[in-house]
Structure 1
Amino acid sequence: MKKILIISILIISSNFVEAQFIKEKSINAQIGYGISAPYNTIENSASGGFFIQSELILKAASWVEFRPYAGFILTNATDKDLNNKPINERVESQAFLLGGKVRVKAPIPWVAPYVEIGIGTSIGKFQTVTAYDNIEKSGIIYHIPFAFGLELGRNNNVDLGFSYYFQPAVQQYTGALAVGITIPLNKKV
Structure 2
Amino acid sequence: MKKHLILLLIILISNQAEAQFVKKRAINAQIGYGMTSPYYSADDIANGGFFLQTEYVLSLASWIELKPYAGFILTNSNGKDINDDPTDERAECKAMLLGGKARLIAPIPYVAPYVEIGIGASIGRFETFTAFTDIEKSGIVHHIPFAFGFELGRDHGVDIGFSYYFQPAVEQFAGAFAIGVSIPLKQRKE
Normalised TM-score (structure 1): 0.90
1:55 aligns with 55
Report how many residues are paired.
183
Structure 1: where are the runs of 5+ without partners?
none
The 8 Å contact of residues 91 and 127 in structure 2, kept in 1 or not, is answered as yes
Larger Rg: 1
Distance in 2, matches of 1:90 and 1:110, equals 40
RMSD: 2.1
Q: By how many angstroms is 1:83 displaced?
A: 4.3
**Aligned partner of 1:141: which letter?**
V
Question: What is the identity percentage for the equivalent residue pairs of Structure 1 and Structure 2?
Answer: 62
After superposition, the C-alpha distances for 1:17-41 in whole angstroms (9 at most, x for unaligned) are: 6311000000000000000000011
Q: By how many angstroms is 1:80 displaced?
A: 2.0
Normalised TM-score (structure 2): 0.90
After superposition, the C-alpha distances for 1:99-156 in whole angstroms (9 at most, x for unaligned) are: 0000000011110000000000000000000111000000000000000000001110
The 8 Å contact of residues 45 and 82 in structure 2, kept in 1 or not, is answered as no
1:116 aligns with 116
Distance in 1, matches of 2:80 and 2:14, equals 50
Q: By how many angstroms is 1:16 displaced?
A: 5.0
The 8 Å contact of residues 46 and 82 in structure 2, kept in 1 or not, is answered as no
Q: 1:87 to 1:56 in 2, by over 3 A?
A: same
The 8 Å contact of residues 32 and 179 in structure 1, kept in 2 or not, is answered as yes
1:36 aligns with 36
Distance in 1, matches of 2:112 and 2:145, equals 20
